[in-house]
Chains A and B, each alone.
Chain A
Amino acid sequence: MVTMQTTTDEQLVKRIKSEGSLAFTPLYHRYKHRVYAYCYRLLKHPQNAEDAAQETFLKIHRSLQQLDSSASLQAWIFTIARNEAYTILRRVRPAEDLDEIVDDVWDDQTPLDRVVARERSELLQHCLGLLRPVYRDILILREYEQLSYVEIARVTGASESAVKSALFKARKSMGKKLETILKGKNDEL
């Protein structure tokens, strides 16, 4: 007997193709934490994240028959999750082009003294939250959800070279920001 923990995506896709919406429950339990975590890290708000995650799974339930069995299940799920999260993000930030990859990766500038007392991992999370949504999105998909460049390109609609470039910019900028913060902290000591 195959338990939920050992069910692979391929097995889930086969179940979806043969059972349709009856295969929704195992799919939901397999992905609920990942989808919620993705929405939470992107939206930085627990209620918005829950709303986005719920809408994601309802859309998945309605669209199960449209799943292409040759496509990546996780890329398909995160594409839907991304659309729902961005719908909420656009409500919060209506005037902004959230998908635009620009050279300025930072979304917000927080005074150094507010963050100087935090531990490194908290600093990293804080820096992640300061990134523009498009960079934060791609970094989350890569570092936490471990999607490949092909899958990230499929989820975001960007090209693979744009994904590669955006990841590089985000990582480099975060590294520099962390270095600056930690250096400032050391100087104060």
Chain B
Amino acid sequence: MSCEHYEEQVSAYIDHELRDEEAEILFKHLGSCLSCRTAMTAALDLRSGLRDQPPVLAPGEMDEKVLSMVRRRQFWMSNSQAAPATVWQRRISLRLPVAAAAMLILLFGSFFASALWLGPTESADNPKIQTVFLTAVPTVEVRAYTMEPVVTTQ
């Protein structure tokens, strides 16, 4: 194995990430390789240099900013919780596509049902008379005859 491999093992060793058998093989190599021993010293030196720094501390104003945002969030969360609903107040919660489909079914269903309910009626006098009520204002009753149309208004 090359010194490049052992130098990588040195890096892992100082991080306590080598298994015992790997460390044994590494130390066997270090016994006879000045270059890798130098690499070990350099890696430990680098670590102590990096860690030998004044600590970096969070700015004091960060406490108030973070904790006040968290308190506001907790306040809104606790105040937005719904009161227990009575049976008559319960909402039915549906996903949007389901709700949209339900509305369309209700709308067309109501048209269809009203068409059936208002369907053609037959006058006792003349079975060919069809009475159609138009809901537009003014209300107009139109009687259609096969021969003579009669239009009356109310």
Contact = CB atoms under 8 A, between A and B. Distances in A.
Contacts of A178: 46
Contacts of A125: 53
Interface stretch (B56-64, B88-96, B138-146): B56-64
A178 B49 CA distance: 11
Given A148-B17, A165-B8, A172-B7, A33 B56 contact: yes
B80 to A, nearest CB: 15
20 contacts: A33-B55, A35-B58, A40-B56, A54-B65, A58-B73, A61-B73, A139-B50, A142-B15, A143-B47, A143-B50, A149-B15, A164-B8, A164-B12, A164-B17, A167-B15, A168-B8, A171-B46, A172-B7, A174-B46, A175-B46
Nearest to A167: B11
B124 interface: no
Given A36-B57, A41-B56, A144 B49 contact: no
Interface string A148-189: 110000000000000011011001101100100000000000
A99 B17 CA distance: 23
The interface centre, meaning the residue of A57, A120, A165 with most chain B CB atoms within 10 A of its CB, is A57
B56 to A, nearest CB: 4
A171 B11 contact: yes
Interface in B24-65: 39, 42-43, 45-47, 49-53, 55-59, 62-63, 65
Given A33-B56, A144-B50, A171-B43, 5 more contacts: A36-B58, A36-B59, A120-B49, A164-B17, A167-B11
Nearest to A24: B70
B70 A143 contact: no
B106 interface: no
A74 to B, nearest CB: 16
B67 interface: yes
A143 B55 contact: no
Contact of A53 (B8, B53, B58): B58
Closest 4 CB pairs of A and B: A36-B58, A37-B56, A168-B11, A168-B8
Interface string A90-126: 0000000000000000000000000000001100110
Given A32-B62, A58-B70, A128 B11 contact: no
A175 B50 CA distance: 11
A11 B15 CA distance: 26
Contact of A58 (B11, B12, B59, B69): B69
B147 interface: no
A66 interface: no
B63 A32 contact: yes
A57 B66 contact: yes
Nearest to A46: B59
A175 B42 contact: yes
A167 B49 CA distance: 16
Contacts of A25: 67
A48 interface: no
A175 B42 CA distance: 7
A168 to B, nearest CB: 4
